[in-house]
Amino acid sequence: MPHQPVTRHHHPTYRHLFTLPGTRAFTAGNLIARLPAGMLSVSAVVMIAGSRGSYALAGAVTATGLAATALAGPWTARLTDRHGQSRTAVPATAVAVLGSLALVLCVHYDAPDWTLFAAYAATATTPNTGGMSRARWAHLLADDPDFLHTANSFEQAADELCFMLGPALATLLCGTFFPEAGTLTGAVLLLTGMLIFTAQRSTEPPPRPIPKGGSPWRAPGIPALLAGFLATGAVFGSMEVATLAYTNTTGHQAVGGAVLALQAAGSCTAGLLYGRLKPRGPSERLMRCCLLAMSIAMCLPLLAASAFGSLPALAVALLLAGTATAPTMVTAMTLVQHRTPEGRLNEGMSLTVTALLTGIACGSATAGWTTDHTSPTTAFWLPVAAAASALLVAVQARTTP
């Protein structure tokens, strides 16, 4: 049960959301801890490539960390469900921070390459900060779906904001001060934010030493959702690589990151607006509508690159395409909250992150191969295909008894 009743509003707003006791404090801590998610990989690439002169090595190290996170995330989340956020998140964060510090020392003192892989793999214990925050909202707002929809929309907008600001902040720190500045700052923010977040005990979901439900993997509807998250991750990964490759080949390397940030800006804005709406009807139907909109929206960057061949046109297309992603993610996260067995929500949320990360890695690799063997413009077909695949999964799940 939620720890207190929620005052109902016909049209829940973000101001109403943060009148609940304790929500401002845990949100502030979570945002501080979440910002490094968009910083650390970029910081590691800049630091390693600058020191060793190899972007291939830097990319391999960060890819290893991504794979380790995909494997370790659900295990860490399962411990969080069983023992509580405050007992597990801080030790897990401490291990991740030590991994970041070890990476800095290995780079600074020119340690063998294999030590970089080992150090960065240790950061895989970083807790799923967004998932823990969503779990708190689900606990507090279990009896008010409209309020929970608003909270999920805010969380998705916060994700987009962190992934928009994180890389820019990392690049600024590494370029202005010294190559290790981004990684060190990210580690400090992660630990500080997590200490603030976990100190807010009144809003923490109660631990479930013996969860009532079975594994989220086997919960009805969850496998199809994870397949959808996998395809959506491929949308993100392929779009990023295709956009960066396109800006490089057209001689606009310096603005590649800024152009990509427009997609995140569009998604962030759409997420906040979507939270003010009260979508009606079953969440499954809303999900199919959102995926259809995303499939159509992903055609815009392809059209801009192939028909217009213009960077300003691509920038506008990415901004518009981004508006379809946040509503899709919000609706999908709401379905995960509804379908995950009681007492296993952190684990269920972590599985979605694993699916997303796997999809991003596959999408990035496929777009990279396509760019090398054909052209960046051809690679823009991949987000369209991935979004259409996610829609087909949702339609198939509807027809499967």
Average pLDDT on 13-24 reads 84
| pLDDT beyond 60 at 4 | no
pLDDT at site 191: 95
pLDDT at site 84: 86
Average pLDDT on 380-397 reads 93
| pLDDT beyond 90 at 73 | no
Q: What percent of the chain has pLDDT over 70?
A: 92
In contact, 264 and 163? CB cutoff 8 Å: yes
Distance separating alpha carbons of residues 177 and 162, to the nearest angstrom: 21
| Chain-centroid distance, C-alpha 220 | 24
pLDDT at site 252: 67
Does the predicted TM-score (pTM) go above 0.85?
no
Category of 7 on φ-ψ map: left (φ > 0), alpha (ψ -120 to 50) or beta: beta
Distance separating alpha carbons of residues 391 and 228, to the nearest angstrom: 8
Confidence of residue 6 (pLDDT cuts 50, 70, 90): very low
| pLDDT beyond 50 at 374 | yes
| pLDDT beyond 90 at 173 | no
Model confidence pLDDT, tens digit, residues 203-219: 888 887 765 666 676 77
Confidence of residue 28 (pLDDT cuts 50, 70, 90): very high
Structure tokens at 272: 């906040």
- For residue 228, the surrounding DSSP H or E stretch is helix 222-249
Helices 40-52 + 113-121 axis angle, to 10: 170
pLDDT at site 356: 84
Model confidence pLDDT, tens digit, residues 298-356: 999 999 998 887 889 999 999 999 999 888 988 888 888 888 887 777 788 888 888 88
Model confidence pLDDT, tens digit, residues 104-136: 999 989 899 899 999 999 998 988 888 889 889
Confidence of residue 5 (pLDDT cuts 50, 70, 90): very low
Please name the residue ranges forming H helices in 19-54: 23-34, 40-52
pLDDT at site 3: 46
| Chain-centroid distance, C-alpha 333 | 12
How many C-beta atoms surround the C-beta of residue 177 within 10 A? 12
Contacts of residue 289, defined as CB under 8 A and 6 or more positions apart, other chains included, come to none
pLDDT at site 94: 95
Range in 121-130, 169-178, 195-204 with the lowest mean pLDDT: 169-178
Model confidence pLDDT, tens digit, residues 243-288: 878 887 777 666 666 787 888 888 888 888 888 777 777 878 889 9
Q: Write down the mean pLDDT value for the chain.
A: 84
